[in-house]
Structure 1
Amino acid sequence: MSDAWTWRYEDADGRVVTPEGVPTGSFPTQSDAESWLGEEWRTLLDHGVDAVRLLEHDAEVYGPMSLRPAQ
Structure 2
Amino acid sequence: MSFRWRYENASGTEVEGPDKAFDDQTEAEEWFSATWPQLLDLGVDQVYLVEGNIEIYGPMSLHPPA
TM-score (norm 2): 0.94
Equivalent residues in 2 for 1:3-14 (5 A)?
4-14=2-12
What is the CA-CA distance between 1:23 and the residue it aligns to?
1.7
Partner Cα separation in structure 2 for residue 6 and residue 28 of structure 1: 9
RMSD of equivalent CA atoms = 1.0
Residue 37 (structure 1) aligned with residue 35 (structure 2): no
Equivalent residues in 2 for 1:1-71 (5 A)?
4-18=2-16, 22-71=17-66
Partner Cα separation in structure 2 for residue 69 and residue 42 of structure 1: 12
In structure 1, runs of 5+ residues without a counterpart are: none
What is the CA-CA distance between 1:70 and the residue it aligns to?
2.4
One-letter code of the match for 1:43? Q
Q: Which runs of 4+ in 1 moved over 4 A?
A: none
